[in-house]
Each structure stands twice: as structure tokens, then as C-alpha cells.
Chains A and B, each alone.
Chain A
Amino acid sequence: MKNGLTFFLGLFLALALAFTGIVLGSHAQLGNLAPYYDENEGKAFPERMPGIAARGQLVYQDLGCAACHTQQVRRPDFGSDKARGWGDRQSVARDYVSQAAVQLGDNRVGPDLATFGSRPLAVDADRLAKYLYEGHGGMPGYPFLFADRKIVGERAANALNVPAKPGREIVPTPRAVALVAYLQSLNNAYEYPEARPVEPEAEKKEGGK
């Protein structure tokens, strides 16, 4: 390695090859992936997130929720994701095409949230807000997303049903409202052509019998 120029070109080539292979290669495959238009339903999937949910995604990002929650369902024969009720199909690349910042996550300290909006807990916004305030299971509460304020006139409609000091109420701040809306929006049950569940071989055989 006496020749500095050759060495430098080698370094460049090493990085350029990996970049071309992995980054440009996958970009060529997925860069033009578009939402899937379903003629029967007359709309395209995944649907765009409502504005408030998109704001909630920013709250999810700035609190670092992805440190404990993944958003990627594995296929039925790979782990227990289906058995846990996280969805009948694996997540596919198309699920994420309209998200501004994709947060797949890499540790499941808590459950996966890719299809959280379809779970019973997510249906009731008030109950979900209460979970965020008090914490639930292993998750701590995030009281700073809520305001403890004096009741003026009537109690606010969205005040949490939690113990508060006399004459005061706990109400979600706009950030909490947005986060709840985001969590409720996390639901993509639509079955893309490429996302049909892959059933394990064994189950198929049993089904055939």
C-alpha cells in the first residue's frame, strides 16, 4: 500500500459499493412505491394521516417512544405477533410510504404499536389519555402532557376521570390530544396484494386434511 492514490481510491470504492448496493439498490426497488388504489373502495391505501395525528407523531418522536415500542408486525410464522393480536399480516414497505418519519423501533420493552388503533384500548380516547397520565403495565405515566387547572364554571368535557384536588381538574394539553389521535390512527388492516399472510407450512397441511 505504498501508493497513496490507490489507497484513497480503495477507501472511496469500499464506501461507494456499499452505498450503491444497499442504499441505491433498495431505493431502486422501493423509491417509487405508491399508495395502492382500490377501485372497489374508491380510495388509496395507506390513507393519509389526519393533521392532528401527524402532529401526534411529532410528540411520539420527541418523547422518544420508539425506544420501547416497535411499529413493525412480523409475519405469522416468525414470532408471536399474530397470536398477540397485533394484526393478521406482516407489515410491508407500503404501510409506511406516507409517514414523514418512520419509526420502526428496535426494542420491544412494550408491545408493538403498528396496529394499535384497532385494539380495544385505543377505541376510547379518554381511557387512553388516562393511561398516558397514570401509566399502565410497565409504562410510566407522562403527567407533563396534562394540565392541572382550576375548574372554572363547569368541569371540562375532556377532563380525566382521575383523582384531582378539590376544585381542580386534569385536562390533556394539545400535545396529549395529538398523541392520542396519533395512537388511534395507527391501524392498517388493509390487505395489500404483497401482504397476504404467509401461513406456516404445518398449518396449511392441517387445513388440507
Chain B
Amino acid sequence: MTTASTAAPTAEVTEIDATARCPLLLLLGFALLWLLVSGALALVNLVQLTTPTFAAACPVMTYGRAQAMQESAFIYGWAANAGLAVTLWILGRLSGAPLRSLNWTTAGAVFWNLALLLGLVGIATGDATVHGWIQLPRYVLPLLLVAYGAMAVPGVLAWTGRRQDTTFASQWYGVAALFLFPWLFSIAQMMLVFFPTRGVLQPLIAGWFVQGAWTLWLAPLMLAAAYYLLPKISGKAIRHYEFAALSFWTLLFVGAWTGGRHFVGGPIPAWVATVAGVSCALLLFHYIVVALNLGGAFRPAGSTVLWFVGAGLGAYLLGGVLDAVTSIRGVAMITQFTHFSTAQTQLAVSGAFSLTLFGAIYFLVPRLTGRAWPSLSLIRGHFFAALLGTAALVLALAVAGLIQGREQNNATVEFSAIAVHVKPWLLVATAGQAVLLIGNLLLAVHLLRAVCPFRQAATAPATFRQPPTMEASVS
């Protein structure tokens, strides 16, 4: 077991961390708040799938509106805030100097989250737009874009003012995410909301945006964290690092072309789906290199941070393979328009992204606050709840989707019968979501205790293994 220590070694908490404390903790606080909101709404959604009458008489909670709210709260609330907090910190650390102009981040974060709140109220009252991942009402979208720009300023300054010529994979991914999202987001706003294109070009561009938001924004944010944490914690160089750059550019150049796989057989030019299928296969190269580079995370050796990173990485790799498989026409015929697609999305965002970011948060917060996490059992509890919850959610949705897809292709099976057949699996998914929500609640409570230690003198075990690695760990 670890030795107790309530004060972080000064060598580990540098000026870089100290100056970034308040803005980044603010981002993390917002992130966890939205994660809980989104988790609760997702639970409502899943209950509605098995009990359609649940909250149905309440106009703000129709299935469609709750779905739009939970998705927006997750992507723009949890993922954006947490991803930016972690990436800004990593960029600061790797630039070798304290982050500058952090007031921009604070101001941006306040406006970003206010805009998001306004957006969710807008969705609840019927102002949602129609396209996935950009369902927030039109009146908050420009504000989000400006606020994002403000939040990213210190990251850009850290990149341009870096003190060494050599750059690291974490920086590439982080900087790519910072720069590419605003471009992507502004194109989507223009072409979908403010000056909408005609006909099926709308869903096509929306599909391109969703895929871009994943491969050019969220996945890079997650990989920036993973590429930073693994060598830092394990103390070993990344294996086959020489391929990392090629893998990075493969993700960037090929990733955004894979969005059309959802349109197999749809009223969209067939080449879009074909190109997407080929791109999915090409992208496997990226996943192989990531597996080679970061495979060490599967041997966490007592590091709780690496438990999370390893689990997230596993979800990321599995997701890549599933994307390629479901882009094949014969498979898509069964899986498209079913809960299987939802399972894939959850595998990516709740599995790959969230789990990795949880690991990063467990690594980051002690360095920001200068104090160890108060409780190791809370971290363990969160890990098992998150892993079990995500696995149950994704697996159950996937099985439900396969049943749904097979029966939909059999015209003799009524839709009401399909609903009955998938119900047990949707109940498992509901339970998984509930466990996930409880786990995330543990993290929120824990973060609150770590930031505001009411009982600092209490006998809470500190969880540092040794000075250089300030993560919570068992040895």
C-alpha cells in the first residue's frame, strides 16, 4: 500500500500547474456537472425505450428532446470542457512554460457553458435543429464558436511559444484538436443552420461533421492525453514511436472521409458510402499503430490512471474495427437504423473518450491542487463502475441492435414485436447507464473533496506511490 502524504512534492507541482489551477479546475467542474446531467438524461432516454409512456406527457421530455439534450450536454458539456482542460494542461507542460492568457480560458468557459445552458433550455422548449451533434438552437451556435476560440487561446500560445524544437505526439493531437474543431464547427453552422444547403446535402454534411467532430476533435483530444500519460507514468519510451507521425496524419487525412458509412443504401450518392468504407479500412493502419505505440497501457502495473487509459484505448481500437466492419454493405443492411449504431457511438464517446479522460483527470487534479486524491477506494469504485457500466451499456445496445436489425429485415415481424424482443437487452443497457451514472457521481464527489478539503486533517489515505508519479496507485 502506498505511503501517506498530504502535501505534494514541490518538484512535481511546478509553476505551470499552479498558474493553471483555477481556470482548469473551473473547466473540469463544468465538465463533470454536464456529465451528470447528460447521464441522467441518457437514463431517462433508455427508460423511455422500454417504457414509452415514461414522462411522455411532459412536453420537455419527449424521447427526441431528451435525446438531443443528453447528446448536446455530453459533447459540448462534458467532452469539450474536459478535453480542453486536459489538452491545455498538456500543451503547457510540453511547452515547458506556464500557460499564458488564461483569463481568456476562464471568460470563454463561462460563456461557453452559459451558451450551452441556454441551448439545452432551447431544445427543451422546441428550438432544436435537426442534425446530429449540432442539435443546439441556432441562437447559441455563434456564441459557442467565439467562446471556444477564447478558451483555446492559451493552448495556441503554448504551441507557438514552445521552448524546444522537438514536438511530441501529444502536442500534434492536441493542437490539431484545438485548430480543427472551430473550422469544422463553423462550416457545419453555415451549411446546415444559417445558410442551409438543399435536400439530402444537409444530412450528408451533418454526417461529415459528426465524423469530423470525432476523428478531428474528440479522438485527438483523447489521444493527446493517452500519448502523454503512458510514457509519463510507465517511465518508458513509446514503442515504435517512429510510426506515430504517420498514424497521426492518417487519422487526419482519412478519418473525416469515413462519415458516409451511415448512408449505405440511402438517398445519397453511392460513392460517398463507398469512399467511406474504403477509408474505414485505410484507417485501420492508424489503429494498428496506436495499438503498437500505446499497448503498454494494457499492463497498468498498479497505476489507476493507466487502468482508465488502458480501458479507453481498448474501446478506441475496438471501435475502429467495428466502424470498418459495419461499413460493409451486407453488415450495414442489418446494423443501420438500429441500436447497434448507438452502441458504436457510445463505445467511442463513453468508452474511448470518457475513460481515457477520467484517467487524465486522476493524473491532473493532484498536480493542479497540490494535494493527493483523498480516497483510493473512491477511484477504484469509479473505475469498476465506469468499466462495468460502459461495457454493459455498449454490449446490451449492440445485442439489441442486432436483434432489431435482423427482425426489421423480416417483414413478417411487427415493430411492436421487435420492441418486446429487444426489451430485456435495453433493460440491461439501462442498468449499465445507471451504474455509469453512479460511478461518475463518485468522481464528482471525489473532485469536490479534493478541491475543497473540508477535513484536511482527517485520516484519508493519500495515494501517491512515490514523488515522481503523483497519480493514485497501489503497489
Q: Which residues of A contact B (CB under 8 A)?
A: 1-2, 4, 7-8, 10-11, 13-15, 17-19, 21-23, 26-27, 29-31, 33, 61-68, 70, 72, 74-75, 78-80, 83-84, 90-97, 99-111, 135, 137-144
Question: Which of the 9-residue segments B175-183, B445-453, B455-463 touches chain A?
Answer: B175-183
Chain B interface, DSSP helix/strand/loop, else mixed: helix
Contact A64–B65 (Cβ < 8 Å)? yes
Contact A4–B159 (Cβ < 8 Å)? yes
Closest to B125 in A: A62
**How distant is B360 from chain A, measured CB to nearest CB, in Å?**
22
Check A140/B172 contact, CB under 8 A, given A26-B204, A108-B338. no
- Measured in the bound complex, the distance between the Cα atoms of B267 and A30 in whole Å is 11
- Measured in the bound complex, the distance between the Cα atoms of B190 and A129 in whole Å is 36
**The one of B56, B199, B408 that contacts A97, using a Cβ cutoff of 8 Å:** B199
Closest to A13 in B: B253
Q: Which are the 3 A-B pairs with shortest beta-carbon distances?
A: A64-B64, A83-B411, A140-B56
Check A17/B267 contact, CB under 8 A, given A30-B201, A63-B62. no
Question: Which A residues touch B253, using CB under 8 A?
Answer: 13-14, 17-18
Question: Which B residues touch A18, using CB under 8 A?
Answer: 208, 212, 253, 256-257
Check A15/B415 contact, CB under 8 A, given A10-B249, A80-B409, A90-B267. no
Question: Which B residues touch A14, using CB under 8 A?
Answer: 180, 216, 249, 252-253, 256
- Measured in the bound complex, the distance between the Cα atoms of B342 and A27 in whole Å is 28
- Measured in the bound complex, the distance between the Cα atoms of B159 and A179 in whole Å is 52
- Measured in the bound complex, the distance between the Cα atoms of B130 and A166 in whole Å is 41
Residue pairs across A and B with CB atoms within 8 Å: the count is 203
Contact B67–A67 (Cβ < 8 Å)? yes
Can you pick out 10 interface pairs between chain A and chain B where the beta carbons lie within 8 Å of each other?
Answer: A14-B180, A14-B253, A15-B180, A30-B199, A67-B63, A72-B267, A78-B265, A108-B408, A109-B49, A144-B59
Is residue B377 within 8 Å, beta carbon to beta carbon, of the partner chain? Answer: no
Check A138/B245 contact, CB under 8 A, given A11-B252, A33-B198, A64-B68. no
Q: For chain B, which range describes its interface: under 10, 10 to 19, 20 to 34, or 35 or more residues?
A: 35 or more
Interface residues of B in 48-94 (CB under 8 A from A): 48-49, 52-54, 56-59, 62-65, 67-68
- Measured in the bound complex, the distance between the Cα atoms of B52 and A138 in whole Å is 6
Interface residues of B in 254-299 (CB under 8 A from A): 256-257, 259-260, 262, 265-269, 272, 275
**The one of B130, B265, B266, B342 that contacts A107, using a Cβ cutoff of 8 Å:** B342
Question: Which B residues touch A8, using CB under 8 A?
Answer: 179
**How distant is A101 from chain B, measured CB to nearest CB, in Å?**
5
Closest to A91 in B: B267
Is residue B435 within 8 Å, beta carbon to beta carbon, of the partner chain? Answer: no
**How distant is B210 from chain A, measured CB to nearest CB, in Å?**
10
**The one of A2, A26, A103, A110 that contacts B272, using a Cβ cutoff of 8 Å:** A26
Question: Which B residues touch A144, using CB under 8 A?
Answer: 57-59
Question: Which B residues touch A111, using CB under 8 A?
Answer: 415
Question: Which B residues touch A64, using CB under 8 A?
Answer: 62-65, 67-68, 128
Closest to A195 in B: B267
Is residue B104 within 8 Å, beta carbon to beta carbon, of the partner chain? Answer: no
Question: Which A residues touch B257, using CB under 8 A?
Answer: 18, 21-22
Contact B200–A93 (Cβ < 8 Å)? yes
Check A137/B337 contact, CB under 8 A, given A10-B252, A64-B128, A65-B64. no
**How distant is B243 from chain A, measured CB to nearest CB, in Å?**
14
Apart from A63-B126, A84-B411, list 12 A-B contacts with CB within 8 A: A7-B172, A10-B252, A11-B176, A23-B187, A31-B198, A78-B329, A93-B267, A97-B199, A135-B56, A137-B414, A140-B54, A140-B56
**The one of A21, A78, A109 that contacts B275, using a Cβ cutoff of 8 Å:** A21
Closest to B178 in A: A11
Question: Which A residues touch B196, using CB under 8 A?
Answer: 100-101
Contact B175–A93 (Cβ < 8 Å)? no
Question: Which of the 9-residue segments B17-25, B160-168, B346-354, B365-373 touches chain A?
Answer: B160-168
Is residue B339 within 8 Å, beta carbon to beta carbon, of the partner chain? Answer: yes
Interface residues of B in 33-49 (CB under 8 A from A): 48-49
**How distant is B17 from chain A, measured CB to nearest CB, in Å?**
25
Is residue B341 within 8 Å, beta carbon to beta carbon, of the partner chain? Answer: yes
Question: Which A residues touch B64, using CB under 8 A?
Answer: 63-68
Is residue B191 within 8 Å, beta carbon to beta carbon, of the partner chain? Answer: yes
- Measured in the bound complex, the distance between the Cα atoms of B201 and A19 in whole Å is 13
**How distant is B216 from chain A, measured CB to nearest CB, in Å?**
7
Is residue B203 within 8 Å, beta carbon to beta carbon, of the partner chain? Answer: yes
Question: Which A residues touch B180, using CB under 8 A?
Answer: 11, 14-15
- Measured in the bound complex, the distance between the Cα atoms of B202 and A27 in whole Å is 10
